[in-house]
Amino acid sequence: MSRNPSRRMFVGGLAVVIAATLSGCINKPAETESSDGAFTLQGKTVEILVGQEAGGGHDTTARVIARHIGQYLPGNPEVIVRNMPGGGDKVMANYAYTQAPADGTSVGVFSVAVPHYNLIGEGEAEGVRYDASKFKWFGSPTVTTNVLLVHTRTGITKDNLAPLTEGQGVRIAQRSPGDGPHLVQATLASGLGWKFHTVFGYEGERRLAIERGEVDAIVTTWESLEDEERDLIDEGVLLPVVTVGLSDAPALSAPELSGVPKASDLFKNASPGSQDLLEVILTRYGFARSFGGPPGLSEEAVQAYRTAFDEMNADEDYVREAEPLYAVVPSDGATVAERITKYVTADPSVVAPVLTQIKSDSQ
Amino acid sequence: MIADGLHGLGTFLGSAGALFVWPTVGYMLIGTLLGFAVGMLPGLGGAATMALMLPLTFSMEPLAAVAFLLAMHATCATAGDVTSVLFGIPGEASSAATVFDGYPLTRMGQAGRAIGAVLTSSLVGAWFGAFCLALAVPLVRPLVLSFGPPEVFMLAVVALTTVAALSGKNMAKGLAMASLGVLLATVGEDIATAQTRLTFDSLYLLDGIPVVPVVVGMFAVPAILASMLPARSEIGDQPVRINSWLEGAKDTWRHKGLVLRTSLIGAYVGLIPGVGGTSAQFIAYGHALQSSKTPEKFGKGSIEGLLAAGSVNNSKEGGSLLPTVAFGIPGSGAMAILVSALIITGVQPGPDLLTTNVDVTFGMVWTIVIANLLCVGLCLLLAKRIASLADMRQTLLVPLLLVFITVGSFTESFRFEDILLMVLVGLLAFWAERLGWPVAPMLIGLVLGKLAEANFFLANNIYGEPSAWLTRPIVLILAVIAAISLASPLIRYRRNRRRARVDPTAKARPFSRGDIVLAAFFAVLGAVAFWDVRTAELPTSAATVPQSISFTLAALSVGIAISGAAVVVRKRMSTDVPESGGASAAVAGDGRDGGGSTIVALREKTAEAEEAEIVEAGPRQLALVVAQFLAFILGLWAFGFLLFAPIFAAVYLFTVAKTKWWTAAIWGVLVWAFLYYILWGLLSLRLWDGAIF
């Protein structure tokens, strides 16, 4: 080896660089207490977990939140989004429950499926390793409302719902048995005796299916309804038959939905059991894309996040950016926690009929 | 009416002017550069990067946001073709077909021509796709509405028939690989029945086998493993002629009919929601194969195959924008992000984009046109530089390629299991290719199996039973195309076998001991899958395909194993070992085993070259190389990217590639800098941290 001093200096310098690199790379436990013991995220990076791949609705929601919430959290941390797709949100929820650090640097945007798995009793065997009611909830950024849309070629009108109650019923397009829209359909079927002939397997083009004449009805989300569908409703080609959601949802004031009955109205004459069922189902609409963190979060951290979330929702810049993507109708953390607990601890016998309906639809 | 037409033309030209305003044009340029960089990196690209860029568009004007994202996306495909051709590693899943013929051309010393051909055909394809977007706007609704589940099913069948053509002489092996692909496509949750199949209780497999790690594994791993082997002799190794890219451009002109036809296929198939670009490339490739006068060259360096693959990759961009624009139905994940960007900037996708906001749509057209022109220009300018990378000593590139493929596989959905999947598929592909089993059919089966199965049962759900929808006009037309597509290679195969009795060079690869082992492995796989599905007691629609395909796989594999055994036994018993022709002589272990058999570690030889590239590598060296590869993966898992990758790069370069120690150290630091500053700093891509720390 050369005795060249400049080369030795180079070696030394390189060694220092490498050592610095390595020490920087080794993870140290995150310190989230400032000198006076108060909860702070100064100098930290917060990751918002999302159980879906980049580009989907939840991912976009998380990214909008990530852009704005940092300034309202103590210490003004940097906030990024971490995608953790897999198992229909189970991978992300499991991670958030069992492995994510509970120091406030790891939080998530959870889909409605997460509490739902608890409701239908899935456990270790199905890959569910969490209890949704034990997550610490900071709030929900939005509210959704489902609508049953039918094509007028079925002969259904506001006053004539006969095709829904007679014979084979109405042909409806669905994606997968037990998913959100199908749950709505099954609730209407089991509670009101409506009949549907379900065609499963549609990935993204349920609306095209109606246009092609393959089916006559779909359950869709009003807030993500497109101009084209709205036009078809205005022209009288598509008819909203019933809305399913929170009774004070802003969507209900849309002109196309005036005079359209809510599910709660129609269920007034249903059996008590069905009314209880509807009440449970309606809770779902109050925790869409809920924002929360691991069970081990300190009270202080939870409070900090809840306050930050509320403040963010009052921020005009946030509202302006988010509004085109989703209806900004926030619910605070305490309310969301209450709703989720109510959902998850619902009496199984109340929910049983809709699960039976789901099963029979998929036969 | 003339006034209307002039007005339309005015809007069309006017939107070009709107594009060249600062900062819109600036965003378009940045998007182009980003797309170029990202497209080069295998695996990284498409939806994930676009999603990362999405927040940046919040503050942009609609046209600027669209120009930025679309420029990035459109150039990704073009740049990805360059890595496919030069390194045999597809930049994206939809560039897989460019590897089939592009890489062999590079190996033959015609990298420049290949790059020229793929880039010019990409440009033509992109422009054609954009042109379709501009013109077909009034036609798009009836076009999209006429393609329901029955038609999509039959389209998938048409694409599946290319398997027969690509298997060539090794028909049984090709079909077995295709069956494997279709079987893998059934893994996961079946949407229509909410039943899980073949997941063996793994949450990872619940979502099915992802395509990107499979594509990266299939192509990149065998190429990299081959690069890691010490090459003793490389016959036919000519210096890469880069100034001959014009030759490739001339090829595009020579085959302009083909390029236009495949562009049309890409645009039209891209138009149909749900089919996707990855399927489109095989349909176009199949057509090129059908209409070619030299079909036997396909897969071995056919310029026609490369032109087809290059153009379809880009024309589908314009096509897939149509349903996005007209219906607001995104044709892919990347389109979904574009839709979000449009919504954010206040433009509602749907009929408005064809009427009041048609200038945005035209802006998209111009973006595709200009961004691709810039990208192709950039690629050609840098062609010399980039192609000289291919000329570099292979082992020098290894650490870099390893980092790229693992990053690419990981950032698909941020699960380490994807890297493991890539490794498994890669090792399998490496093994299979050596033995002459074509791997392309497996990819085709994987991609199209799902599409075919889902739409078949959906069609039945809608119409009741097959006879109700098999007679629809478009379905019938497609069925005829499928039949022709299937029949011609089969007829050719028969003819070859007859000829083989007289002319030994026309024969397929002779069977060997390795074949029997691989076939036995597949037979076991098929049997296990069959048993698993059987015992799961699934409803008919969920069980039919996995059961029948696993049975097919097992049956084909057993057949191959038995024929292989018969051949080997017969050879052993006869005193005269017949020579099986020049092309196959260099191929692995044909019965002359006894330790240290000759193993071909590199790709297929051309039909013209009698002498193959023979790399003599004993099983010991092969095992060493695989061990090095696995060590990298293990280290990555244990210590994470930031810590392990730079160290591995430095160590590998110093010990194996035998560079000077300071070169190795500098490369190590560069790798770290790339991972830390660009991926983590700029793109906020959270890489695997390592299981130990």
Measured between CB atoms, which of B206, B274, B333 is closest to A205?
B274
Q: Are A236 and A256 in contact (CB under 8 A)?
A: no
Q: What is the pLDDT of residue B387?
A: 67
Among A244, A224, A250, smallest CA distance to A330 is for A250
Q: Are B231 and B394 in contact (CB under 8 A)?
A: yes
CB contacts, 8 Å: B201 with chain A: 125, 127
Burial class (CB in 10 A: 0-12, 13-18, 19+), B201: exposed
Strands (E) located in A154-294:
170-173, 196-199, 217-221, 238-244, 290-293
The DSSP code sequence of B477-519 is: HHHHHHHHHHHHHHHHHHHHHHHHTT-GGGSPPPP-HHHHHHH
CB contacts, 8 Å: B468 with chain A: none
Strand order in the sheet with A290-293: A78-83, A45-50, A106-110, A290-293, A136-142, A328-332
Cα Rg, chain A, nearest whole Å: 25
Query: Can you tell me which residue has the tokens 């069992």?
Result: A98
CA dihedral of A43, A45, A46, A50, whole degrees rounded to 10: 170
**pLDDT exceeding 90 applies to what percent of chain B?**
13
Please list the alpha-helical segments (H only) found in A193-226.
Answer: 206-212
CA distance B119 to chain A (A): 29
Q: Are B23 and B371 in contact (CB under 8 A)?
A: no
pTM strictly above 0.95? no
Does B362 or B430 have the greater pLDDT score?
A: B430
Task: Flag the least confident range among A221-225, B15-19, B106-110.
Answer: B15-19
Q: Which amino acid is at B470?
A: L
In whole angstroms, give the CA distance from residue A172 to residue A207: 11
Average pLDDT for residues A333-348, to the nearest whole number? 94
SS (H, E, C) B216-255: HHHHHHHHHHHHHCCCCCCCCCCCCCHHHHHHHHHHHHHC
Task: Say which residues have a Cβ less than 8 Å from residue A197's Cβ, sequence separation at least 6.
Answer: A168, A169, A170, A171, A172
Q: What is the pLDDT of residue B232?
A: 41
In whole angstroms, give the CA distance from residue B506 to residue B497: 8
In whole angstroms, give the CA distance from residue B186 to residue B446: 8
**pLDDT exceeding 70 applies to what percent of chain B?**
82
The C-alpha angle with vertex B574 and arms to B572 and B575, in degrees rounded to 5, equals 105
Task: Say which residues have a Cβ less than 8 Å from residue A220's Cβ, sequence separation at least 6.
Answer: A146, A147, A149, A181, A206, A207, A229
Counting one residue from chain A and one from chain B, the pairs whose CB atoms sit within 8 A come to 164
Q: What is the pLDDT of residue B414?
A: 79
Which ipTM did the prediction report?
0.81
Q: Kindly determine whether residue B54 and residue A60, on different chains, have CB atoms separated by under 8 Å.
A: yes
pLDDT over threshold 90, residue A188: yes
A15 in contact with B, Cβ within 8 Å? no
Q: Kindly determine whether residue A87 and residue B689, on different chains, have CB atoms separated by under 8 Å.
A: no
Helix (H) or strand (E) holding A140: strand A136-142
- A5-43 burial string, b = 16+ CB within 10 Å, else e? eeeeeeeeebeeebeebeeebeeeeeebeeeeeebbbee
Cis peptide before B23 (omega within 30 of 0): yes
pLDDT (tens digit per residue) in B49-101: 777 777 777 777 777 888 888 888 888 888 888 888 887 877 777 778 888 88
Q: Are B228 and B398 in contact (CB under 8 A)?
A: yes
Mean pLDDT of chain B: 78
Rounded to 10°, the helix B111-136/B358-391 angle is 170
Q: Kindly determine whether residue A231 and residue B349, on different chains, have CB atoms separated by under 8 Å.
A: no
A38 in contact with B, Cβ within 8 Å? no
How many Cα atoms occupy the beta-carbon half-sphere of B468 within 13 Å?
12
Strand order in the sheet with A170-173: A196-199, A170-173, A217-221, A146-151, A238-244
| Strands A290-293, A136-142: pairing kind | antiparallel
Q: Assign B567 a pLDDT band (cuts: 50, 70, 90).
A: confident
Q: Kindly determine whether residue B329 and residue A362, on different chains, have CB atoms separated by under 8 Å.
A: no
In whole angstroms, give the CA distance from residue B407 to residue B401: 10
Interface test with A, best of B413, B666, B688 (most A CBs within 10 A): B413
Q: Are A297 and A346 in contact (CB under 8 A)?
A: no
CA distance A138 to chain B (A): 23
Task: Say which residues have a Cβ less than 8 Å from residue B125's Cβ, sequence separation at least 6.
Answer: B259, B262, B263, B266, B310, B311, B312, B313, B314, B315
Of chain B, the end-to-end C-alpha distance in Å amounts to 71
Average pLDDT for residues A22-45, to the nearest whole number? 62
Task: Flag the least confident range among A189-198, A293-302, A314-323, B157-166.
Answer: B157-166
Interface test with B, best of A21, A27, A80, A317 (most B CBs within 10 A): A21
Q: What is the pLDDT of residue A32?
A: 52
Please list the alpha-helical segments (H only) found in B137-237.
Answer: 140-145, 149-160, 162-167, 171-185, 211-228
Rounded to 10°, the helix B540-573/B440-463 angle is 150
A101 in contact with B, Cβ within 8 Å? no
B457 → chain A, closest CA residue: A201
pLDDT (tens digit per residue) in A74-93: 999 999 888 888 888 899 99
pLDDT (tens digit per residue) in B569-617: 888 887 554 444 333 333 333 333 333 222 222 333 333 232 333 344 6
Average pLDDT for residues A286-308, to the nearest whole number? 95
In whole angstroms, give the CA distance from residue A126 to residue A122: 6
In the numeric block, which tokens belong to residue A31?
A: 């310190």
CB contacts, 8 Å: B684 with chain A: 80-81
- A45-72 burial string, b = 16+ CB within 10 Å, else e? ebbbbbbbbbbbbbbbbbbbbbbbbbeb
Interface test with B, best of A6, A23, A199 (most B CBs within 10 A): A199
Q: Are A179 and A88 in contact (CB under 8 A)?
A: no
Compute how many other C-beta atoms are within 10 angstroms of the C-beta atom of residue B385.
9
CB contacts, 8 Å: A94 with chain B: 203
Q: What is the pLDDT of residue B593?
A: 34
Q: Assign A1 a pLDDT band (cuts: 50, 70, 90).
A: very low
A29 in contact with B, Cβ within 8 Å? no
Does A82 or A3 have the greater pLDDT score?
A: A82
CA distance A147 to chain B (A): 19
Q: Assign B405 a pLDDT band (cuts: 50, 70, 90).
A: confident
Q: Kindly determine whether residue A201 and residue B458, on different chains, have CB atoms separated by under 8 Å.
A: yes
pLDDT over threshold 90, residue A243: yes
